[in-house]
Structure 1
């Protein structure tokens, strides 16, 4: 038996779930890309697999990017209040790692350029529209900068690179930069739009939950202010809630009872036959209590939804009635004695 349900909304928990999702998404994308690389090397039967400094550098950077998942997970578990700042730092580090990966794996043609999208989407969903816009600008600047710098050899190629950024034809470079820039801008705009819509829906949900919570508290206060016990039951007799007076009448042990049958056979009879006016005398802890019980069915469109059991403590009223009967009896004896004395 419980007094009332208490719904709640934890906004920070939702944010942390989103952070965890994007961390796993990043690792998933990296795993897919690495899987393609491994498959291509196995098919080509390359003898240079993991024998160059570039390959080891790429593998190390990928491992660091995946290791950031552990940092994020530890922050979510042990530093919940600073998890947002940690995640922001991880995203900035990811941008730098992605920039280096793009240069090492072909510049504008690098398959790792897709990793630039993860921070942009994460900014829009986890933080704000302004942050997403700034990160989109940073991503475009980094992507254009590293691609052009590698193509013009402002940043020299590293020995062992399979695809040299400087060997990309001019038209291919322009086409790649245009396509990827359009993709980044489109994804950013969609992310910002969807994040705004999500924020609006979350605000509506939070407002609704707040109204439900206030309504729940108001109903709880109303129920607890009643002088009669009120117990809500489902169609199987399971106790859904009980107000404070019901617990007071039936005793603290009633809190542990889950079904109307646990209260005793007399209450089971009331529930089974849906009795509306039943008087009971119960003894708990050597204390005799007189009760008046009434069970009402809750129906909607002919369908039974549950029951409400009203319990009224008539102990004091019974004592007054007994005392009044005794006084009337004594008064009758007095009048009889007076009449006999008068006759004598």
Structure 2
């Protein structure tokens, strides 16, 4: 309907233009000759007046059938007005016979087949009527259509030539209009198909689980799909126009040249940061973006490998710790027995011997150190061979709140330590051993205090997020301890959970090792993010159902990944 309305608007506009040009110029010519011009005035005024009526009718018409009828009414009135003008200006000899040709051509704008021939036939009938009236002088007495000065053969010849011209123009106009309509329909179908194909491709890019981005020849990002935005935490507005190397923090030692970047399927792994500053490991593939055989830029496809890499490191660490624990537990047990006997013997000697003050002091030191060594071995045996878990359903928010009372008391004994908490509003219920989990919270808090000798802030937060493991979904509880302390150097980051590893002047190095072991027994894991002089963030991840977490972990399923 919109197309028909547009064509009628064109019909109205062209009518006004033709009347203004032809009748206006003719009126000027007639005035200079001093002839009567009432007909011209009347036709011009009537045409403008009825055009206003057409415009009003066009605005109120709402159906396609009514619009077509409106167009036919305009064409019919045009033919009548042209007939009056031709009759008033000489009939078969009138210079305005060309208006019939113009009307036949304009009538083809109406979307109906055979319109050109139909309107041309109407013109032939009207002109034939005028020719007969003029040839036989039937209206000569009225003064409107005087007898023609041409002879009968000349009149019939002129009529035949004009009629043939009308029919040819009508046939060609109708044929051309029909072909244009077909071409227009074909073009619209192709445009619709192209639009559907474009939408289909956009939906594919939006629905794909991998991150996808495109960049121009200068390496500046031109598109960023939703998966890429979710993985990096950046929306499209934040990365648009930025170099992709800066967004993904990929600056290799050997810069790639243009040919390298244009090579097909360039694969590599890059470590960068999300928008929130957390670690992000991506497996990326770069390919050239070509158009008509010419490289117009590049397209990058990447997958978030952060949790896979974290869990691979975790699994390697667990395997190493398992082997080390078995060996060390046996050695510790063998050492503990003779050490106990040695300590007992020294205590007996201290009571029986009447040595000088120096010997007594040395004996005290030997007994104290033997006792300390026995304590360390006892702690290590508890780490290597921990007691069975006493699992029960507990709200981790409540367990953390109970531990925070002790943590707050310890913080008051330190200098300038501030503790802030951000607990989840929902209950975080899981199958846990409350005593051992309280030990985890206490050790992580104490470790954070030790990392802030001059003061700082400890942020403790709890939350829950959904995960997907090999198509099996579940919820994971997260408890994070983030401090503003000295941080951990990169070379020590892989060793912090090893038994007896410590950078403190005092300490057994079993605190974080015990934390790691307890969390592992619960079927969970620990994530660590740290930079020197910028603080550290320890995140304890526990499944809401301990049974499901342990089963998925030990079945060797695909590592935990973000949903």
For normalisation by structure 2, the TM-score amounts to 0.49
Distance in 2 between residues matched to 1:235 and 1:157, nearest whole Å: 84
CA contact (8 A) 1:283 1:289 kept: yes
SS of alignment partner, residue 47 of structure 1: coil
Please say if 1:245 is aligned against 2:245. no
Query: 31, 47, 58: which one pairs with 2:34?
Result: 47
Please say if 1:137 is aligned against 2:121. yes
Q: CA deviation at 1:195?
A: 2.1
Deviations 1:231-252 (A, max 9, x none): 2333245655444323433447
2:17 aligned partner = 28
Query: Where does structure 2 lack aligned partners over 5 or more consecutive residues?
Result: 336-563
Deviations 1:128-156 (A, max 9, x none): 22333332322322232244335545556
21-30 vs 135-144, greater mean Cα deviation: 21-30
Distance in 1 between residues matched to 2:230 and 2:63, nearest whole Å: 41
Q: CA deviation at 1:279?
A: 1.1
Deviations 1:147-206 (A, max 9, x none): 4335545556766x6xx4433433443233212111110001111222232233234323
Please say if 1:166 is aligned against 2:155. no
SS of alignment partner, residue 160 of structure 2: helix
2:160 aligned partner = 178
Please say if 1:323 is aligned against 2:314. yes
Distance in 1 between residues matched to 2:238 and 2:90, nearest whole Å: 68
2:211 aligned partner = 229
Q: CA deviation at 1:13?
A: 5.3
Query: 47, 59, 62: which one pairs with 2:44?
Result: 59
2:92 aligned partner = 108
Q: Which has the larger radius of gyration?
A: 2
2:396 aligned partner = none
CA contact (8 A) 2:86 2:97 kept: yes
Distance in 2 between residues matched to 1:171 and 1:254, nearest whole Å: 81
Give the alignment's Cα RMSD to 1 decimal: 3.8
Q: Which has the higher contact order (CA 8 A, sep 6+)?
A: 1
* CA distance 1:211–1:58, shift in 2 (3 Å): closer
Distance in 2 between residues matched to 1:176 and 1:291, nearest whole Å: 85
Deviations 1:252-293 (A, max 9, x none): 7315754243x78234867x9537525132232466543333
Distance in 2 between residues matched to 1:165 and 1:132, nearest whole Å: 31
Distance in 2 between residues matched to 1:124 and 1:165, nearest whole Å: 33
* CA distance 1:286–1:124, shift in 2 (3 Å): same
Which is strand-richer, 1 or 2? Answer: 2
For normalisation by structure 1, the TM-score amounts to 0.74
CA contact (8 A) 2:83 2:126 kept: yes
Query: Where does structure 1 lack aligned partners over 5 or more consecutive residues?
Result: 1-11
Distance in 2 between residues matched to 1:26 and 1:236, nearest whole Å: 54
Distance in 1 between residues matched to 2:19 and 2:272, nearest whole Å: 72
1:6 aligned partner = none
Deviations 1:89-123 (A, max 9, x none): 32232222222222222222333332323443344
Distance in 1 between residues matched to 2:278 and 2:73, nearest whole Å: 66
CA contact (8 A) 1:33 1:111 kept: no
Distance in 2 between residues matched to 1:61 and 1:137, nearest whole Å: 25
* CA distance 1:135–1:41, shift in 2 (3 Å): closer
2:246 aligned partner = 265
Distance in 1 between residues matched to 2:190 and 2:96, nearest whole Å: 43
Aligned residues: 322
CA contact (8 A) 2:224 2:236 kept: no
CA contact (8 A) 2:16 2:48 kept: no
Distance in 1 between residues matched to 2:103 and 2:211, nearest whole Å: 56
* CA distance 1:55–1:126, shift in 2 (3 Å): closer
Please say if 1:196 is aligned against 2:178. yes
Please say if 1:292 is aligned against 2:283. yes
* CA distance 1:80–1:244, shift in 2 (3 Å): farther
Deviations 1:66-105 (A, max 9, x none): x36x835983798586654433332232222222222222
* CA distance 1:72–1:151, shift in 2 (3 Å): farther
* CA distance 1:158–1:326, shift in 2 (3 Å): farther
SS of alignment partner, residue 283 of structure 2: strand
